[in-house]
Amino acid sequence: MTTITLQLSPELEQKLRESIARHDAQSIRQLLADAFAPTVEVLLGQKTDTEIHDDEFEIIADQLADDFAACVGSDALPLSDYAVSREGIYEEHP
């Protein structure tokens, strides 16, 4: 199993905390994506000889989901079906 640690600047951490307090899922996703982008670049630049099997991927994905849920809290509202539909995603982009 691989552990990835994100180093957040105090400013980014504050923005993330504020977005979490506002339950602003879009802002949280964007802040995390921005914070994670440099780490992804480093990971993609590394050569590895191992492959992740489906069951290992599921374990990692479940752990990431659990970690995110722990950060957001149990009172976070799930996205509606419309929010995750094609129409909802591309609503502002004709």
pLDDT in tens, 14-24: 999 999 999 99
pLDDT in tens, 32-68: 888 888 878 877 777 666 678 888 899 999 999 888 8
Q: For residue 28, count CB atoms less than 10 angstroms from its CB and return exposed for 0-12, middle for 13-18, buried for 19 or more.
A: buried
| Predicted pLDDT of residue 11 | 92
What is the rounded CA–CA span in Å between residue 85 and residue 87? 5
| Predicted pLDDT of residue 48 | 64
| Predicted pLDDT of residue 73 | 77
Q: What is the pTM of this model?
A: 0.43
What is the rounded CA–CA span in Å between residue 27 and residue 60? 24
Higher pLDDT, 2 or 77: 77
- Please check whether residue 71 is in contact with residue 6, taking contact to mean a CB–CB distance below 8 angstroms: no
What is the rounded CA–CA span in Å between residue 34 and residue 32? 5
